Structure 1
């Protein structure tokens, strides 16, 4: 029986998170095995880890669903994170009132996170 490369991806859009903060974490898990990446994300102290873990699980469920249609068993040790990146989303622009009737701009960044998995 030949083993085909199975691929899947999951995208999280309009996440209230800076792209810089998301990329810092995504660079660390890129190229790792699925189980190793999940373990790393669980013990990192960043807010973005929780969001990235959800997207990683979603991508794994996508690859599992595709394989169930083909009646193949999938092993978590055989899955690697092929690609993980964060793109900038729209910035929410708000104003903070300041002294003497002035306004101070506040920019709340959003990002789109994409995680691609592949079986080896």
Structure 2
């Protein structure tokens, strides 16, 4: 039996109803996934996208949540050892707007909103070895092509079609 895996703590922060499309926010969030927090903050800080300051604020908030909870609950969390575990931009509600169009008409368009969620977690310490219970694999006999062919009923061979031209000439 394998030992039970040590649970890693995750800390998250979110910013809801941000005035950007989730697709544009994902461009910035994909840059920081898997990075150490310090490196991720530098990456976002020097990014020119409009949503980058919001992502930086959410990232710093997640780190502060980790700091607060470690002090509040007495957890031993190394803030220098945190990394960005997940960074997602979910779709929020859409605001429907009208744009004036020719001949007294109006065209509808949508202003998209995004919910940005950043989760940070502590990387495993080098001295701690964690193992996970692996599922037991049972060997089930799979049907191969040969055995599947033997079990199926065999068909009779196809009959050749009689030639019509030969029968017509013989009839004359």
The TM-score, its normalising length taken from structure 1, stands at 0.89
Q: Could you tell me how far 1:44 is from its partner in structure 2?
A: 0.8
Q: Of Structure 1 and Structure 2, which has the larger fraction of its residues in helix?
A: 1
- Structure holding more strand per residue: 1
Q: Could you tell me which residue of structure 1 aligns to residue 68 of structure 2?
A: 65
The partner residue of 2:18 within 15, 18, 27 is 15
Partner of 1:97: 100
Is 2:65 the partner of 1:52?
Answer: no
Task: State the 1:116 CA deviation.
Answer: 0.4
**Which structure carries more relative contact order (alpha carbon 8 Å, separation 6+)?**
1
TM-score (norm 2): 0.63
Tell me if the contact between 2:96 and 2:108 (Cα under 8 Å) persists in the aligned partners. Answer: yes
Which one is further off, 95-104 or 31-40?
A: 95-104
Q: CA RMSD in A?
A: 1.7
Structure 2: stretches of 5+ with no match in the other structure: 1-5, 124-172
Q: How much has 1:102 moved relative to structure 2? A: 1.3
- d(CA) in 2 for partners of 1:55, 1:71: 24
Which structure has the greater CA radius of gyration?
Answer: 2
Distance 2:25 2:9 in 1: 26
Whole-angstrom CA distance in 2 between matches of 1:72 and 1:85: 26
Gaps of 5+ in 1: none
